[in-house]
A and B are shown apart, each in its own frame.
Chain A
Amino acid sequence: MTIALQKSADAAATPVTASATIVPLSQPRASNVQTKLIPAAKEWAATLIPPIITVGALLLLWQILCMKPGATLPSPSRIWTDAKDLIVDPFFVAGPQDIGLGWRILTSLQRVAVGFGLASIVGVLLGALVGQSVWAMRGLDPIFQVLRTVPPLAWLPIALAAFRDSRPSAIFVIFITSIWPIIINTAVGIRNIPQDYRNVASVVQLNQLEFFWKIMIPSAAPYIFTGLRIGVGLSWLAIVAAEMLTGGVGIGFFIWDAWNSSRLSDIIIALIYIGIVGFVLDRMVAFIANIATRGTQAA
């Protein structure tokens, strides 16, 4: 008994020899498949199967409801036959206005990128100003609070009058729609910078610019990204609506055009595209936020 104890103590004290005797055994490898692969597969199944079932059930219900002769909306099978080209190939080009939905989405995304990009830069700067200066907040906050409630499309006539062109007008609508949550969240983030960090900055004597980059932005990053995430969602909402009115090759105009020529199936496909892209945009910002703010929360 004592000898056995002695032995195990020795083994514990010299792990190198202990592991050397274990390596040749093949058992750990076999269990590796069991302990890693199978639970992973189970997890995948657990996340994938429920949505597949619900989507299947909804499609079935939809099919049953819209199969009747007097149905006003097309059934899934009808959509498949009507709009097969749009579904299977997002990137075909058959003429100036006859292109795949992928191209249209890309055009819309391009506008969103410009409008939302500008809104991000201006929004963070204005938010920093409002969050940092009591007077700027008193002066600007009431204006922001009123303007942010204006619906996106209400800006369009003014933009069209000012720019006399539909392209910059659509971009302006995106900009003005998405900037408010960015400003407001950034300002809250800046106001919530702990006094400790400000003290550190003063002792080290950071100048305004260094304070902005080294303290403000990282400290407010979680708030800023919340604003950006709301903003990107609003942009995507606004671009579809704006394009319906301004024309061009974007996805919004495609829907309007399809409505005017009674292509209901095309509209439904476009809606699905828009939903998926909006979802991906949201997840992208969330993903970037996750990476950028990793470890920035105070312990």
Chain B
Amino acid sequence: MAYLKIDHVDKVFSRGNRETEVLKDIVLTVEKGEYVSIIGHSGCGKSTLLNIVAGLTPATQGGVLLEGREVNAPGPDRAVVFQNHSLLPWLSSYDNVKLGVDKVFGRTKSRAERHDWVMHNLDLVQMGHARDKRPSEISGGMKQRIGIARALAMEPKVLLLDEPFGALDALTRAHLQDSVMALHQKLGNTVLMITHDVDEAVLLSDRIVMMTNGPSARIGEVLDVPLPRPRKRLELAANATYLKCRQRVLEFLYERHRYVEAA
């Protein structure tokens, strides 16, 4: 039985009497510990799909099963790292992480244990030194690290990442990708990540889910990335498997499902 199952999900947004079908018959299973990326052109419905898995948006048809049980409300078992970090600006880094920890472990961990757990997760993303800083006092990459720490600290069954590096410059992005890869290696999380960056998808994922353009976007193709871990971005640059995977995704996105508006 699949760990996470997206079961024939349709999504229709209705505004007034106008209806737009964004997602059509999405079926996807993710195994425990797997790193799956969803790639597609902007506006095709990637965030909508992730929000449905997170329980933040209800599916019009179909549903989401986690360990065989239907989930239709948000919860810390499916922690989200949002594209624009979504840290609460009036809280320090420490308190932002603590907010989730207190809710999830309020009953099971003592105050001291929770403190240690917050610090442990800040250290995991190398942000222990920024514990007392407010989001406005740290850089975009650091904010995203805190966002990742906040999600990890909830010990989610599935970690949902919505274009987590989209707003960052190339160098910071590479740095964070390496961190996320190391964390995945170390903790073995199940990850569902949205991206529009082909290299990022190939570098990080075990499987890449390619979505067709909207409206009524569906899964066009699923590609296995049979690269051994740990992966090193420099060594992969000339790796035949890597290049082949990259080529497949590029072909899908820019030949068969070209973004019409951008052309």
Contact = CB atoms under 8 A, between A and B. Distances in A.
Interface string A162-198: 0000000000000000000000000000000010110
Interface in B125-182: 134-137, 154
A221 B88 CA distance: 13
B86 interface: yes
Given A202-B74, A203-B54, A197 B86 contact: yes
A296 B89 contact: yes
Interface string B97-115: 0011001100000000000
Interface residues of B, number: 25
Contacts of A197: 86, 88
A7 interface: no
A295 B86 contact: no
Interface in A277-299: 293, 295-299
A204 B89 contact: no
A260 interface: no
B154 A299 contact: no
Contacts of A84: none
B135 A299 contact: yes
A150 interface: no
Interface stretch (B8-16, B76-84, B201-209, B211-219): B76-84
A205 interface: yes
A196 B84 contact: yes
Contacts of B79: 203
Interface residues of A, number: 22
A299 B136 contact: yes
B138 to A, nearest CB: 9
Contact of A296 (B78, B90, B137): B90
A136 interface: no
A200 B76 contact: no
B50 to A, nearest CB: 11
Contacts of B80: 199, 203
Contact of A299 (B73, B76, B78, B89): B89
Contact of B82 (A196, A215, A298): A196
Give the secondary structure class of A's interface: helix
Interface in B34-57: 54-56
A47 B210 CA distance: 64
Given A196-B86, A197-B86, A204-B99, A295 B134 contact: yes
A203 B78 contact: yes
Given A196-B84, A202-B56, A204-B99, A218 B76 contact: no
B103 A204 contact: yes
A197 B88 CA distance: 7
B74 A205 contact: yes
A214 B98 CA distance: 12
Interface of B: 54-56, 73-76, 78-80, 82, 84, 86, 88-90, 99-100, 103-104, 134-137, 154
7 smallest beta-carbon distances between A and B, as pairs: A299-B136, A196-B86, A202-B74, A296-B90, A218-B90, A204-B100, A298-B89
22 contacts: A196-B84, A199-B54, A199-B82, A199-B86, A200-B99, A202-B74, A203-B54, A203-B100, A203-B154, A204-B103, A204-B154, A205-B75, A210-B103, A215-B88, A218-B88, A219-B90, A295-B89, A296-B90, A297-B136, A298-B136, A299-B135, A299-B136
Given A203-B80, A295-B137, 14 more contacts: A196-B82, A196-B84, A196-B86, A199-B54, A200-B82, A200-B86, A200-B88, A202-B73, A203-B75, A214-B99, A221-B90, A295-B90, A295-B136, A298-B136
